[in-house]
Amino acid sequence: MDHSGFWSGRGCSLTALASSRTLRQAGCAPPPPPPYRARPLRRGQDGNAVRGLATDPAGGVVRDDRPHHHVLADQFPGAEPAPAAGRADLGRAEPPAGTDLSSDPQHPAEYRRAGSGAAGPVHRHHHPATRAGQQCRLLLRDVMARDLPSSDLPSSDLLRQVWGFDGFRPGQGEIVEAVAQGRDVLAIMPTGGGKSLCYQLPALMREGVTVVISPLIALMRDQVRALREAGVAAGALTSGNTQDETDAVFASLETRELKLLYMAPERLASGGTVNLLRRAGVTAIAVDEAHCVSQWGHDFRPDYLRIGDLKRALDVPLSAFTATADAETRAEIVTRLFGGAEPVTFLRGFDRPNIRLAFQPKDGPRRQLLAFVDARRGQSGIVYCASRARTETLARALADAGHSAVAYHGGMEADLRREVEGRFQREDGLIVCATVAFGMGIDKPDIRWVLHADLPKSIEAYYQEIGRAGRDGDPAETLTLYGPDDIRLRRMQVDEGLADSARKGADHARLNALLGLAEATGCRRRRLLAYFGDEMAGDCGNCDLCLSPPKLFDGTQAVRMALSAMLRTGERFGAGHLIDILTGNPTDKIRERGHDNLPTFGVGRDHSRPQWQAIFRQMMGLDLCRPDPERHGALFLTETAHPILRGEDSVTLRHDTALRAKGGNVVRTQVAEEDEPLLSALKAKRRALAEAARVPAYVIFPDRTLIQMAQDRPSDLDQMAQVNGVGAKKLESFGLEFLSVIAGDQPRMHPHRRALAGRPEGALFDRLIAAQTRLMRGEDGTGKPLSCSTAQIRRIAEARPADRAALARHLDEARLERFAAVFLREIAEG
Ligand SMILES: Nc1ncnc2c1ncn2[C@@H]1O[C@H](COP(=O)(O)OP(=O)(O)OP(=O)(O)O)[C@@H](O)[C@H]1O
Ligand SMILES: [Mg+2]
Ligand SMILES: [Zn+2]
């Protein structure tokens, strides 16, 4: 695998990443970690990029025999234009050396410091010899080729160092490898499965820029922000950019720093874009939300059709990502994005095991909502409602109960909608009561729950909507409330729609699938996944039915009674009247119509009225009967009912469990009680930092990271670096701030030492410092005081020179004399 592009990106200054043996042997002294960026390829004598054999400055030949290396070289000969031409075409003058190239108005300090590290100046700064950076890179390559036994180590190193993640999510590892190798890839992973990482991480492993086509500006901006926060050189060209932002992107393209360039598909309509991308050295295309290329899908974006041409024009590998898996969409993606050539396809199962599934029949829905939300105070959630009016009433009800809740629907002013979207992204624990207009473009990973206050439209819609919860992989909860009115409403919507009858039939079937899920008697997830074609080996253990199995009864008899009452009254009455007949309730209406003379009158006295209501709801759920669109509320039999009436089929039903009794009052907290105050304090710190940086809270750290901090209580930066989600750049940016919340004010750590926090080099640094203090005046304590600078010690700790000659690169003769033996011993000890 070729990591040279990435590693060389910062040349000698990849502090944050070059943790291991990589920079050690290069003998480079890295400055503080800046955004990672690419450096131009070396040029051969013909002016083409050279990636093959390289000469080690020390005289040896560096072998680079990893296959995709050559693939790259073959695929993109001359991918890098002559700088002058590139500039001319980008239409911008070269910025003066050392200019702030990746300035982000929102993080001036971070980026100014980081941005000043354009490859040239940094190398010159640390290495008067101009080829030093290159030496560094060649050595890196040497080291990596020889020392790293496992080829996946580097990508997992990056995962740890840049993202601070401990490991890949299922499927990510293979996809990352395939994309990094420059293969055409189609990856289908569930919502929140972690698709972004599958193109972001390989982009760091590859030479040149990866262009990411993404459908929504909001999504792009969020991702770019998050990447920059992690120290990655990413930018977006969108219509929402300010001129300054656009200038900065062009400048960093031109200087070859940028690793990831986000772009809306619309931009491909302009001919200039392809040229721009070609000249900018784009070496890969990633297509997010690739189902948008499908004309039959729900999110079709005509401009996605241009991506195929872009791939052909640039002749680079393409990776496509989506959560939509049906075979038609998949086939369409292959035709339109890959020109029909089968890409390497990864199909991850659809399960989102961290999402708890639950349904409840409505029984005072507002009370049910409040009970659910009260038990999850302070957690972000979405309440989906079937109507605009309901979003407002429920938001008010929640606000009255002391929750932070707002309404959102398509009828609101665009500005107001944007404001709600922005608040939801930024604020901790905001609840949005919304119609389904709220969703796409909401990339908030820490939504802890989704509650459907009304039945969703179909099983697809249901899964997509609950899928917005728990995208960070942490436990998330869902609850869907439904009742006979919902079923009636949804049936009506299908019947009254404009679709032809075949389409209506299919829509009823989709609704049935959802109702079947609602009235399921066994594991809901099994049923849900089976609908999407995934078989589960066992029950999930994380749905309401697995957690508290329902009481079942043979409902065949009762259902036959009900169906018969329906038939004998000409299928002209609703559930209320039919229940009166079954329970023998002689109302005026019953007597007027002589229904008290029917043989079914009073045959169902064994069941109470609420029980009959539950039976009718389940019958509707099982599609044994449907509301008649012509006659308000009347129920008629469907085909599925006949075998039951004829006694050929049986029905198992559930007793509706007493809802009031349970579930309500258990307050679910994210951590144990004793860690609760600390977690709140950490969240407050996060909020302050997020507000100052004008980024969403989770961009600073996701909940999971704060939870782990609250539980593990790191007491210094080394321990802090072990927390999942704390990458090198974030450790540098925020480590001390959070540490002081946990452990009080910290003795200041020397910046050179801080840069090594959480790494073995840090411990070595400490030992070297101790050793030199011991030897300050020589072995016998009478020598002339002599010490090394912390910068020298850090370089030694990182480079781990193996012998005196190597150590001589860092120390002058006098210091070698004094310290070499002891230092080498410390280094040898690990
Ligand atoms: N290996 C990992 N370890 C921990 N967290 C991860 C890992 N990979 C991704 N995540 C987190 O998971 C969340 C969801 O990732 P991402 O946005 O890429 O999902 P997605 O597959 O693109 O979903 P969607 O279909 O909704 O766009 C993010 O918060 C991301 O940081
Ligand atoms: Mg995504
Ligand atoms: Zn289950």
How far, in Å, from the CA of 194 to the mean position of ligand 2?
A: 7
Whether residues 633 and 531 share a domain: the answer is no
Is ligand 1 within 6 A of the CB of residue 483?
no
Q: Closest residue (by CA) to atom 31 of ligand 1?
A: 472
Helical spans, DSSP H, in 375-434: 388-400, 414-426
For residue 1, being part of any structural domain is answered with no
For residue 3, being part of any structural domain is answered with no
Q: Closest residue (by CA) to atom 16 of ligand 1?
A: 194
CA dihedral 773, 778, 780, 782 (to 10 degrees): -100
State which residues form the domain around 604. 552-654
Whether residues 632 and 528 share a domain: the answer is no
Instruction: Identify the pLDDT of residue 56.
Output: 31
Give, in order, the Cα–Cα distances in Å from 225 to each of 368, 697, 725.
Answer: 38, 12, 16
127, 133 in Cβ contact below 8 A? yes
Whether residues 131 and 26 share a domain: the answer is yes
Cα(759)–Cα(804) distance, rounded to whole angstroms? 24
User: Which position has the token pair 């062009």?
Assistant: 250
CA dihedral 303, 307, 308, 313 (to 10 degrees): 120
Ligand 1 atom with the shortest distance to the CA of 166: 3
- Pocket probe for ligand 1: among 319, 472, 708, the residue whose CB has the most ligand atoms within 8 Å is 472
Ligand 1 atom with the shortest distance to the CA of 473: 12
Instruction: Identify the pLDDT of residue 473.
Output: 83
Concatenated DSSP letters of 663-677:
SSS----SS-GGGHH
Ligand 1 atom with the shortest distance to the CA of 191: 25
68, 181 in Cβ contact below 8 A? yes
How far, in Å, from the CA of 455 to the mean position of ligand 3?
A: 20
User: Which position has the token pair 């690990």?
Assistant: 830
Cα(421)–Cα(483) distance, rounded to whole angstroms? 30
Is ligand 1 within 6 A of the CB of residue 381?
no
698, 707 in Cβ contact below 8 A? no
3-state helix, strand, coil in the chain (%, to 5): 50, 10, 40
Whether residues 163 and 276 share a domain: the answer is yes
Cα(58)–Cα(668) distance, rounded to whole angstroms? 61
Identify the burial level of 496 via C-beta atoms within 10 angstroms of its C-beta, where 0-12 means exposed, 13-18 middle and 19 or more buried: exposed
Identify the burial level of 217 via C-beta atoms within 10 angstroms of its C-beta, where 0-12 means exposed, 13-18 middle and 19 or more buried: middle
Q: In what order do the strands lie in the sheet with 209-213?
A: 234-237, 260-263, 209-213, 282-287, 318-322, 185-188, 344-347
CATH number of the domain at 744, please: 1.10.150.80
Strand partners for 359: 480
CATH number of the domain at 316, please: 3.40.50.300
How far, in Å, from the CA of 671 to the mean position of ligand 3?
A: 24
Among the bound ligands, name the one nearest to the CA of residue 350: 1
| Amino acid type, 142 | D
Q: Phi first, then psi: what are they for 533, rounded to 5°?
A: 85, 10
Ligand 1 atom with the shortest distance to the CA of 193: 21
- The domain tally of the chain equals 6
3-state secondary structure of 355: strand
Instruction: Identify the pLDDT of residue 174.
Output: 93
144, 167 in Cβ contact below 8 A? no
352, 471 in Cβ contact below 8 A? no
Whether residues 285 and 144 share a domain: the answer is no
For residue 512, being part of any structural domain is answered with yes
| Amino acid type, 182 | G
Q: Phi first, then psi: what are they for 435, rounded to 5°?
A: -85, 175
For residue 102, being part of any structural domain is answered with yes
Give, in order, the Cα–Cα distances in Å from 711 to each of 498, 677, 679, 740.
Answer: 56, 11, 9, 15
Cα(45)–Cα(303) distance, rounded to whole angstroms? 40
User: Cα 807 from chain centroid?
Assistant: 44
Ligand 1 atom with the shortest distance to the CA of 195: 21
713 backbone φψ class: left, alpha, beta (φ>0; ψ -120 to 50): left
Cα(422)–Cα(406) distance, rounded to whole angstroms? 12
For residue 10, being part of any structural domain is answered with no
How far, in Å, from the CA of 545 to the mean position of ligand 3?
A: 6
Q: Closest residue (by CA) to atom 20 of ligand 1?
A: 192
Q: Closest residue (by CA) to atom 23 of ligand 1?
A: 192
Q: Which of 711, 733, 754 is the last residue of a domain?
A: 754
How far, in Å, from the CA of 552 to the mean position of ligand 3?
A: 16
Whether residues 259 and 217 share a domain: the answer is yes
Q: Closest residue (by CA) to atom 5 of ligand 1?
A: 472
The vertex-56 CA angle with 54 and 58, nearest 5°, equals 165
Is ligand 1 within 6 A of the CB of residue 476?
no
Cα(504)–Cα(206) distance, rounded to whole angstroms? 49
Q: Closest residue (by CA) to atom 24 of ligand 1?
A: 191
Is ligand 1 within 6 A of the CB of residue 81?
no
Q: Closest residue (by CA) to atom 10 of ligand 1?
A: 194
Q: Which of 595, 621, 654 is the last residue of a domain?
A: 654
Is ligand 1 within 6 A of the CB of residue 194?
yes
Ligand 1 atom with the shortest distance to the CA of 172: 1
For residue 173, being part of any structural domain is answered with yes
Q: How many residues does the chain have?
A: 830
Ligand 1 atom with the shortest distance to the CA of 468: 26
Cα(440)–Cα(191) distance, rounded to whole angstroms? 11
pTM: 0.66
For residue 819, being part of any structural domain is answered with yes
Strand partners for 480: 359, 452
Give, in order, the Cα–Cα distances in Å from 377 to each of 141, 169, 556, 667, 706.
Answer: 52, 29, 43, 8, 17
Cα(304)–Cα(674) distance, rounded to whole angstroms? 51
Identify the burial level of 703 via C-beta atoms within 10 angstroms of its C-beta, where 0-12 means exposed, 13-18 middle and 19 or more buried: buried
How far, in Å, from the CA of 580 to the mean position of ligand 3?
A: 36
For residue 6, being part of any structural domain is answered with no
Instruction: Identify the pLDDT of residue 325.
Output: 67
Whether residues 199 and 299 share a domain: the answer is yes
678, 89 in Cβ contact below 8 A? no
Longest dimension (CA), the chain: 119
Give, in order, the Cα–Cα distances in Å from 114 to each of 36, 100, 413, 749.
Answer: 9, 8, 40, 20
Q: Closest residue (by CA) to atom 22 of ligand 1?
A: 195
| Amino acid type, 566 | M
Ligand 1 atom with the shortest distance to the CA of 219: 27
Q: Which of 493, 528, 547 is the last residue of a domain?
A: 547
Cα(579)–Cα(619) distance, rounded to whole angstroms? 13
Q: Closest residue (by CA) to atom 9 of ligand 1?
A: 194
Whether residues 468 and 578 share a domain: the answer is no
Ligand 1 atom with the shortest distance to the CA of 698: 29
Identify the burial level of 174 via C-beta atoms within 10 angstroms of its C-beta, where 0-12 means exposed, 13-18 middle and 19 or more buried: middle
Name the residue among 261, 203, 216, 195 with its Cα closest to residue 234.
261
Whether residues 179 and 325 share a domain: the answer is yes
CA end-to-end span of the chain: 27
Q: Helix count (H) and strand count (E) of the chain?
A: 38, 22
How far, in Å, from the CA of 195 to the mean position of ligand 1?
A: 6
Is ligand 1 within 6 A of the CB of residue 214?
no
Cα(221)–Cα(415) distance, rounded to whole angstroms? 18
How far, in Å, from the CA of 172 to the mean position of ligand 1?
A: 10
Name the residue among 477, 412, 414, 466 with its Cα closest to residue 439.
466
Q: Which two tokens stand for residue 382?
A: 């979405």
Instruction: Identify the pLDDT of residue 776.
Output: 86
Instruction: Identify the pLDDT of residue 478.
Output: 97
3-state secondary structure of 476: strand
Is ligand 1 within 6 A of the CB of residue 445?
yes
Whether residues 158 and 303 share a domain: the answer is yes
Is ligand 1 within 6 A of the CB of residue 439?
no
The HSE-up count of residue 785 (CA atoms within 13 Å, CB side) is 1
| Amino acid type, 645 | L
Cα(409)–Cα(475) distance, rounded to whole angstroms? 27
Is ligand 1 within 6 A of the CB of residue 323?
yes
Whether residues 362 and 480 share a domain: the answer is yes
DSSP annotation of 176 reads H
Is ligand 1 within 6 A of the CB of residue 211?
no
Is ligand 1 within 6 A of the CB of residue 190?
no
Among the bound ligands, name the one nearest to the CA of residue 523: 3
171, 189 in Cβ contact below 8 A? yes
Is ligand 1 within 6 A of the CB of residue 616?
no
| Amino acid type, 620 | M
How far, in Å, from the CA of 443 to the mean position of ligand 1?
A: 10
Q: Closest residue (by CA) to atom 8 of ligand 1?
A: 194
Among the bound ligands, name the one nearest to the CA of residue 227: 1
Whether residues 524 and 383 share a domain: the answer is yes
Helical spans, DSSP H, in 96-131: 108-115, 119-126
Is ligand 1 within 6 A of the CB of residue 168?
yes
Is ligand 1 within 6 A of the CB of residue 196?
yes
Residue/partner pairs of 238-241 with CB below 8 Å, 24 or more apart: 238/262, 238/263, 238/264, 239/264, 239/266
Cα(540)–Cα(357) distance, rounded to whole angstroms? 10
Cα(742)–Cα(738) distance, rounded to whole angstroms? 6
CATH number of the domain at 646, please: 1.10.10.10
317, 116 in Cβ contact below 8 A? no
Name the residue among 185, 334, 373, 210 with its Cα closest to residue 277.
210
- Residues of the chain below pLDDT 50: 1-153, 659-665
330, 348 in Cβ contact below 8 A? no
Interhelix angle 243-254/83-90, nearest 10 degrees = 160
48, 20 in Cβ contact below 8 A? no
